[in-house]
C-alpha cells in the first residue's frame, strides 16, 4: 500500500514516515512541502493492482501534518501520481473516470491540473490533449521551464507494457503529439535533468523482460527530443531498472561512504 520515509541527508535521520503514500515529490520552490498520493486501499500488484480510493495530499515537514488538496480529492475519482509545476504553484496528476477504480491493466486514465493556492486548492481541469481521448494517460511531468507536460500514453491501464509511448502537450493543454525518441515497444517513467536539457526514460526496447534507462537530448523551444541512447552502468544485459530520479550534485555525495 506504499510507505513514504523522509530522511535528512547526509545524516540519514528519519524525519517522518507515512503509510499508504505513493509517488512523493518535493515542491521545487519549497522543500518543506511534499505532494503524494494518499491511498485508502490497494489490492494486488503491477498489472493486477486495484486502487479503490486515493487523493492528492501535501505534507508540510514543518508541522508533520498533511492535508488533501481541494480539487484533487473528489469522492468519486481515484487521484494519484502528483507532479509539481516548476513554480510550485500547480499540480498535475492522474485521475480515473467518475465512479471507476484504478486498475493496473484495465480502464483509462486522464491527466488533470489543479492550483495549489497555499493549500486551498481549486477547480481541477482535465488537461486537453491528455484526457478524454479513450486512452490511458499517466505520469505527467513538467519540463523545467514549465512550457510542456510530457506524459505516458497506453491503450489501457497503467502497467500495460505491450505498448506505451511518451507524448508531449503544452502545459496549458492543447494538441498532444507522440515524441520522436519512442521505439516500437514501451517507454515510460521519464524525468528531466536539473537543467532541463536532457530527458531520461525507461524502455524495454532491448529486452521486453528487462527495462533499461535511456537518455535523450530535449529541445524545449520546440518540445522535441533526439533519439535515445542507453545509459551505461544502470543498463545492460543483466539490468532491470525503472522509477529513477535525477539529483543535483551535493558535496557530501562524492564523499559518502557506500560501505554501510
Output the pLDDT for position 160.
57
| Low-confidence residues in the chain, pLDDT < 50 | 260
pLDDT at 127: 98
Q: How far apart are CA 242 and CA 237, in angstroms?
A: 15
- Rounded Cα–Cα distance for residues 131 and 119 (Å): 25
Contact by Cβ (8 Å): 135, 108: yes
- Return the DSSP state at 164: B
Tell me the chain's radius of gyration from C-alpha atoms. 18
pLDDT digits (tens, 9 = 90+) for 137-150: 999 999 999 999 99
pLDDT > 70 fraction of the chain, expressed in percent and rounded: 92
pTM: 0.91
Contacts of 99 (CB under 8 A, 6+ apart): 76
Residues of 61-76 as b/e, b for ≥16 C-beta within 10 angstroms?
beeeebebbbbbbbee
Distances (CA, A) of 158 to 105, 161, 163, 220: 6, 8, 11, 27
Cα end-to-end span (Å), the chain:
28
What are the tens digits of pLDDT across the range 70-127? 999 999 999 999 999 999 999 999 999 999 988 878 889 999 999 999 999 999 999 9
Buried b (16+ CB within 10 A) or exposed e, 212-240: bbbbbebebeebebeebeebeeebeeebe
How far apart, in whole angstroms, are the C-alpha atoms of residue 145 and residue 195? 9
Amino acid at each position: 500500500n506504499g510507505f513514504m520515509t523522509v530522511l535528512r541527508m547526509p545524516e540519514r535521520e528519519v524525519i517522518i514516515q507515512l503509510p499508504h503514500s505513493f509517488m512523493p515529490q518535493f515542491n521545487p520552490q519549497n522543500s518543506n512541502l511534499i505532494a503524494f498520493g494518499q491511498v485508502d486501499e490497494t489490492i494486488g500488484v503491477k498489472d493486477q493492482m486495484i486502487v479503490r480510493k486515493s487523493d492528492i495530499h501535501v505534507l508540510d515537514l514543518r508541522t508533520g501534518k498533511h492535508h488533501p488538496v481541494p480539487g484533487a480529492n473528489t469522492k468519486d475519482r481515484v487521484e494519484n501520481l502528483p507532479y509539481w509545476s516548476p513554480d510550485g504553484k500547480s499540480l498535475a496528476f492522474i485521475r480515473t473516470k467518475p465512479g471507476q477504480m484504478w486498475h493496473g491493466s484495465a480502464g483509462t486514465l486522464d491527466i488533470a491540473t489543479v492550483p495549489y493556492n497555499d493549500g486551498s486548492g481549486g477547480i481541477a481541469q482535465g488537461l486537453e490533449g491528455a484526457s478524454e481521448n479513450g486512452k490511458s494517460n499517466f505520469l505527467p511531468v513538467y519540463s523545467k521551464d514549465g512550457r510542456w507536460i510530457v506524459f505516458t500514453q497506453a491503450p489501457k491501464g497503467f502497467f500495460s507494457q505491450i505498448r506505451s509511448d511518451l507524448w508531449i502537450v503544452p502545459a496549458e493543454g492543447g494538441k498532444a503529439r507522440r515524441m520522436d525518441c519512442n521505439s516500437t515497444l514501451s517507454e515510460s517513467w521519464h524525468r528531466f535533468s536539473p537543467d532541463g536539457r536532457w530527458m531520461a526514460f525507461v524502455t524495454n526496447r532491448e529486452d521486453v523482460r528487462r527495462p533499461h534507462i535511456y537518455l535523450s537530448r530535449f529541445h524545449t523551444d520546440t518540445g522535441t527530443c533526439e533519439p535515445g541512447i542507453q545509459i551505461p552502468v544502470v543498463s545492460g544485459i543483466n539490468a532491470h531498472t525503472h522509477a529513477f530520479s535525477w539529483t543535483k550534485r551535493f558535496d557530501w555525495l562524492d564523499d559518502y561512504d557506500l560501505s554501510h
